[in-house]
Structure 1
Amino acid sequence: MSALDGAIEAGDLVWQQMYSPTDPEWASTLEERIEHGRFYGDRTQMRVVRIYRDGIDGPCRQVGKDGMHPLSGKPLPAHTEHYITCVPGSENDRDHYSSTDNNWCVLELATEDGALF
């Protein structure tokens, strides 16, 4: 089970694999990144702290006042979820903290054999 099928919740222990947000291109879907892109960092075991859903939990928090992504200066690709994770066993949620989006990151439950890895 993975975030791709909506099975991940806050508190879950997961394997996190990030993909390059610019390879194959900035506006690529997660499926395109999995098929044609490249890994961005190592597969890492993390604990999900929070899942922020655009339009449900409020407006997208990952854009600047101008509506553009602060690192690329481009509009944020279409996506709906932002994952906030931390290293399991960390003393607080800010230790070894990671924030990423569902269009360039795959989370899979760590208690099950993953289909993608």
Structure 2
Amino acid sequence: MNRLTPESFQRDQEIKRQYGCKYIIADAPDSPALERAQPIAGGLPDAPLGPDGEPINGKVLIGYIIGVDGLAHDPIVLESTSPILTDTALAAMKEWRFVPGKFNGRIVATLAAQNFSFGPPR
């Protein structure tokens, strides 16, 4: 997760709040002992087409856990402008694969977030 702006800090806090009853979260973003998870498969989806044949514009923000198995788990939709876009984003995440994060050399689950921006084809 990236803490560059007050908005991203608030987003991080919201994600931690929603996962807090399910996971123990240790905050060590700048620790040299932390090796971040690295994506190795999957990508961002193109915008789905609406009934008029035009791409649906909007955005979706999803928090998720990168498990020790390298998969995206327990997605939480934090913001969405369309249920269709949410479904598209969640479907794409099922294809994602990561080299899991490590802390002090041990594989750990990590917290992440992805902003999906949909619009005209890239």
TM-score of the superposed pair, with normalisation by structure 1: 0.24
Higher strand share: 2
Higher helix share: 2
